[in-house]
A and B are shown apart, each in its own frame.
Chain A
């Protein structure tokens, strides 16, 4: 974990990629679009029409056998790491998994953002070929729903997910884009809210409307990513995104346009918002929870704060999925279930610093803190107590997932409205 933290953000592969393209990381993920065609998806699964005789999609579990190998594709810097005596990066939790189950993990980090990875995988999947991975991690939103609509994901067997059913945070079992977790199991989650520097704002930020305060004109950062932007604004004006209508979106877009016209917004930022916030170019900004935590850690101070506005915030989840044609599905689902042990989840959370899907991991981090060397103690204690890693039930209840955009018309309407705000 120490190695990751000392890597400056500009060495992050996702950042380096951002030099030549719009900066995108797992956190910006959805890049604008969003179209979980829930109706089509549910129809495909047979939900809604005849719940009693649900047809399975890509059901492989009757014939699946253990292969002893797992090909796992993840995002960069998104798992616990260590360094061996030769200076090579190791993955302690994966080694532990191999020791316990005899399954060797070929771990790689080829996913830099959802849209390019989808574009890479789609041609293979379209031809019915395997993409060579048993697990890929996808954020909720348009690309996840694209995989679902095309039936490119393997339906999971709940009977093989005992740990998940027992230990997962309840919030993760009720998600509009995948009710019942038929295709996705959360890897980690994060919040979209407001990040600010109290020294510069001169007061604590609590409300979404603080982003509209003329006192902060030219010092407010907003996201250029339209899903986060639109959904957080909907919450901000008192509308639940999940049940919002296009006329609500119009209200949200109007609110944002007024904010822009009044000269309050400095810029619509991509991942670079965190840079602007830590340099003081912005005083308060839409922000992702994990970034604020990591920035304070790497700067060694507590300058920045993150708040979920009193009106409500947004939650997003990166999900483990088994693409269709995966060669080792049983090994994959074994791993997906394995990480839902609190002890394992704790080890990962100590490294990843996003919302762990296993709330009971908290006690293990506290134990680790007590047992750790003096130098490591404050960080672990901070982690164990952080509401950004172990959010309270009230906090979770005050957050929404993105509005599920049910069809092309809705998607286009959404994109037209909010893209015209940010460009």
Chain B
């Protein structure tokens, strides 16, 4: 814990208060300016992270829950085959898959090219380089992290409970609302965490699928670290991001949390 968690955090915090440059070296000077500068320059990108990461999580949940439900309750003996079929694409590196989307969604690519030549879409229609592409890409990238925990919690539900509800004349909807869904909440909770956190921090999807004004803070941090070699500013941006994430998690856990997940 000390070695793998506290030490890196402390290093990050110290770096974020340094000033100087790569060549003459960085010095620790309690330079809180990094924080105000970072936040002034890039507050919009923080908002984008929340916006795209959040909506991607919701999209992933809306798609993954029915899929997991169907596999858990209606797929019969071929459950594992269906599960495998859903997960198979994810054995390929996600960057390759995102690049594939970039090609598919190209303005005159395999998808939109024919539609445009049939005049079903206006000529200047595009998905690539828009927030929609970024959100969709994020939802797609982290889909398994939503599906698997939801599936696991649905699968665990004692079928006897469902039958009991039916014996007591609950309608299908009532069974779902009062028995199945409440019992699957731990899975949803975990799925939202596992999808939301990496989605908010992602910097690849926006790079490949995004365009002007779709930059999320992850990419800003990457640019400051790797390209501009401004370690203090990057560290300050990352630190603010982490604190924000932590605060969100605590609130999230207070509101929706279950004892099983957070251990109390």
B61 to chain A, nearest CB (A): 28
Which parts of A236-280 form the interface with B (CB within 8 Å)?
260, 263, 265-268, 270, 272, 279-280
A1-42 near B? 1/0 per residue, CB < 8 Å: 000000000000000000111100000000111010100000
Chain B residues lying within 8 Å of A115, measured Cβ to Cβ, are 226-227, 229
Going nearest first, the 3 A-B pairs with the smallest beta carbon separation are: A267-B211, A32-B227, A31-B227
B216-234 near A? 1/0 per residue, CB < 8 Å: 0001101110111110000
Q: Given A218-B124, A260-B213, A267-B210, does the pair A423, B42 have CB atoms closer than 8 Å?
A: yes
B83-95 near A? 1/0 per residue, CB < 8 Å: 0000000000101
17 contacts between A and B (CB under 8 A): A19-B95, A21-B226, A31-B227, A32-B228, A33-B229, A35-B21, A149-B23, A263-B212, A265-B212, A266-B211, A266-B212, A267-B129, A267-B211, A280-B107, A412-B21, A419-B223, A423-B45
Cα(A423)–Cα(B124), bound, Å: 24
Task: Tell yes or no: B184 within 8 A of A by CB.
Answer: no
Number of interface residues of B (CB under 8 A): 38
Q: Given A32-B228, A280-B108, does the pair A267, B212 have CB atoms closer than 8 Å?
A: yes
The answer to whether B109 touches A19, judged by C-beta atoms less than 8 angstroms apart, is: no
State which of B93, B219, B223 has its C-beta within 8 Å of the C-beta of A19: B93
Q: Given A266-B212, A423-B42, A423-B220, does the pair A150, B227 have CB atoms closer than 8 Å?
A: no
Cα(A280)–Cα(B112), bound, Å: 12
Task: Tell yes or no: A408 within 8 A of B by CB.
Answer: yes
Task: Tell yes or no: A213 within 8 A of B by CB.
Answer: no
Task: Tell yes or no: A146 within 8 A of B by CB.
Answer: yes
Task: Tell yes or no: A124 within 8 A of B by CB.
Answer: no
Cα(A281)–Cα(B96), bound, Å: 19
Chain A residues lying within 8 Å of B220, measured Cβ to Cβ, are 423
CB nearest neighbor in B for A220: B212
Task: Tell yes or no: B24 within 8 A of A by CB.
Answer: yes
A116 to chain B, nearest CB (A): 9
Task: Tell yes or no: B128 within 8 A of A by CB.
Answer: yes
Which parts of A262-319 form the interface with B (CB within 8 Å)?
263, 265-268, 270, 272, 279-281
State which of A150, A260, A266, A268 has its C-beta within 8 Å of the C-beta of B23: A150
Chain A residues lying within 8 Å of B95, measured Cβ to Cβ, are 19-20
CB nearest neighbor in A for B217: A423
Q: Measuring CB to CB, which residues of chain A are less than 8 angstroms from any residue of chain B?
A: 19-22, 31-33, 35, 37, 115, 146, 149-150, 218, 260, 263, 265-268, 270, 272, 279-281, 408, 411-412, 415-416, 419-420, 423
B132 to chain A, nearest CB (A): 14
The answer to whether A408 touches B24, judged by C-beta atoms less than 8 angstroms apart, is: yes
The answer to whether A146 touches B22, judged by C-beta atoms less than 8 angstroms apart, is: yes
Chain B residues lying within 8 Å of A19, measured Cβ to Cβ, are 93, 95-96, 99
B31 to chain A, nearest CB (A): 13
Task: Tell yes or no: B207 within 8 A of A by CB.
Answer: yes
Task: Tell yes or no: B253 within 8 A of A by CB.
Answer: no
CB nearest neighbor in A for B44: A423
State which of A33, A260, A280 has its C-beta within 8 Å of the C-beta of B212: A260
The answer to whether A218 touches B126, judged by C-beta atoms less than 8 angstroms apart, is: yes
Chain B residues lying within 8 Å of A35, measured Cβ to Cβ, are 21, 23
The answer to whether A423 touches B219, judged by C-beta atoms less than 8 angstroms apart, is: yes
Chain A residues lying within 8 Å of B228, measured Cβ to Cβ, are 32-33, 415, 419
CB nearest neighbor in A for B208: A272
Most buried by A among B93, B124, B223: B223
Chain A residues lying within 8 Å of B210, measured Cβ to Cβ, are 267
Cα(A408)–Cα(B19), bound, Å: 11
Chain B residues lying within 8 Å of A279, measured Cβ to Cβ, are 103, 106-109
Chain A residues lying within 8 Å of B21, measured Cβ to Cβ, are 35, 408, 411-412
Chain B residues lying within 8 Å of A265, measured Cβ to Cβ, are 211-212
17 extra interchain contacts, Cβ-Cβ under 8 A, other than A32-B227, A218-B124, A267-B212?
A19-B99, A22-B222, A32-B228, A33-B228, A37-B23, A149-B23, A267-B210, A270-B207, A279-B103, A279-B106, A279-B109, A280-B106, A280-B107, A411-B21, A419-B228, A420-B41, A423-B219
Cα(A266)–Cα(B128), bound, Å: 9
Chain B residues lying within 8 Å of A22, measured Cβ to Cβ, are 207, 222-223, 226-227
Task: Tell yes or no: B57 within 8 A of A by CB.
Answer: no
Cα(A31)–Cα(B228), bound, Å: 7
B168-209 near A? 1/0 per residue, CB < 8 Å: 000000000000000000000000000000000000000110
Which parts of B70-112 form the interface with A (CB within 8 Å)?
93, 95-96, 99, 103, 106-109
CB nearest neighbor in B for A20: B95
Cα(A259)–Cα(B65), bound, Å: 42
